[in-house]
Amino acid sequence: MAPILAGLLMELIRSLLRPLHRWVWLDTARRARKLLRFAETEADGGRDLVRAAEMTTDSLLRRHFLRHARDEQRHAELFRGRGAALLRVLPEPPRSGYRADWLAPGERGLDDLRVEELEVDALLAFLHLSEKSAATDFARYRDVLQHDPPTRAVFEEIVRDEAHHMNYTFSQLVRVSPQHHRRLLWRARLGRLWKGYLRLAIALAGGISWLILTVLYFTLLPPFAYFAKRSARQEPAGWRPVSAERNASLDRQY
Ligand SMILES: [Fe+2]
Ligand SMILES: [Fe+2]
């Protein structure tokens, strides 16, 4: 019952976010930035999977991880290529630069995976949820990109791979941990929720501190600026001309 309710809640949240996603992907500069950001995340995921392949003693898993790593590297190249193509058609470079955008974190960007710290079953549970989230999010972005067919095609291709990753990580998790896979999935889910909460809290803290500084700027600075201007008017600073009498008296002295 609980998973069904959680699924329905997530579906409701995603439906409410759909207009927001449409707006986010409408702007070409922002679209380019996000694709370049996704490219970084995918390449990072590929490196994690190579590390996981090096560490596992299970030959079947090693083959899966290596193939998965190749897929993630290809995704990185697809995103980078499309992001760069969008940047080239912009009349001028985007002003806001090349920064992360928390509205659409993409695959594993949220999670900062440390392969060495996880047992292989916990790693598979983690990967399964990340791939599931990526497949769902990328399908959603594809659906709001009717105005940009090349970018939509990139997502279309990547979503197919993410669905495969989601399925193989689940079947391998059940194989290596037939008794505990559900518990591992719940633990991984709670870990993701906690990291999501931290991410939101950091964003909120940033917003609140910006608001406080803006209020202080407009309430505390104007009185100081006023008094500084007034005293500058009363007592002009800098070099002042010397009168002729004072000049003559100085000449006599020296
Ligand atoms: Fe990917
Ligand atoms: Fe993937």
CA of 146 to the centre of ligand 2 (A): 23
CA of 135 to the centre of ligand 1 (A): 8
Q: Which amino acid is at 176?
A: V
pLDDT bucket at 177, cuts 50 / 70 / 90: very high
User: Which residues contact residue 148 at a Cβ distance below 8 angstroms, ignoring those fewer than 6 apart?
Assistant: 25, 31
Average pLDDT, the chain: 86
pLDDT for the residue 100: 45
Please state whether the predicted TM-score (pTM) of the whole model is above 0.85. no
CA distances from 248 to 21, 24, 220, 224, 241 (A): 79, 75, 49, 41, 14
CA of 168 to the centre of ligand 1 (A): 14
CA of 42 to the centre of ligand 1 (A): 5
**Other Cβ atoms closer than 10 A to 106:** 25
CA of 71 to the centre of ligand 2 (A): 7
The mean-pLDDT minimum among 21-25, 73-77, 192-196 falls in 192-196
CA of 1 to the centre of ligand 1 (A): 31
CA of 184 to the centre of ligand 1 (A): 22
pLDDT bucket at 98, cuts 50 / 70 / 90: very low
CA of 2 to the centre of ligand 2 (A): 27
Does residue 61 surpass a pLDDT of 50?
yes
The mean-pLDDT minimum among 60-74, 184-198, 233-247 falls in 233-247
**Other Cβ atoms closer than 10 A to 133:** 20
DSSP string, the chain: -HHHHHHHHHHHHHHHHHHHHHHHTTSHHHHHHHHHHHHHHHHHHHHHHHHHHHH---HHHHHHHHHHHHHHHHHHHHHHHHHHHHHHHSSS--TT-S---TT---SSTTT---GGGS-HHHHHHHHHHHHHHHHHHHHHHHHT-TT-HHHHHHHHHHHHHHHHHHHHHHHHHHHH-TTTHHHHHHHHHHHHHHHHHHHHHHHHHHHHHHHHHHHHHHHHHHHHHHHHHHHHHHS--S--PPPHHHHHHHHHH-
Residue for token digits 């990580």? 169
Q: What is the pLDDT of residues 136-172, one digit of tens each?
A: 999 999 999 999 999 999 999 999 999 999 999 999 9
Q: What is the mean pLDDT of residues 189-215?
A: 86
CA of 133 to the centre of ligand 1 (A): 11
In angstroms, the CA 21 to CA 15 distance is: 10
CA distances from 136 to 81, 110, 129, 139 (A): 22, 15, 11, 5
CA distances from 195 to 59, 69, 112, 187 (A): 32, 24, 10, 12
Taking the CA of 49 as reference, the closest ligand is 2
Name residues with Cβ closer than 5 Å to ligand 2, which is an ion: 131, 162, 165
pLDDT for the residue 237: 60
CA atoms within 13 A on the CB side of 80: 11
Structure tokens at 71: 């897929």
Does residue 101 surpass a pLDDT of 60?
no
Does residue 126 surpass a pLDDT of 80?
yes
Between these two residues, 170 and 191, which has the higher pLDDT value? Answer: 170
CA of 72 to the centre of ligand 2 (A): 6
Between these two residues, 171 and 209, which has the higher pLDDT value? Answer: 171
CA of 212 to the centre of ligand 1 (A): 39
Structure tokens at 140: 């959603």
The mean-pLDDT minimum among 20-29, 85-94, 115-124 falls in 85-94
Residue for token digits 């201007």? 229
Structure tokens at 3: 């998973």
CA of 78 to the centre of ligand 1 (A): 10
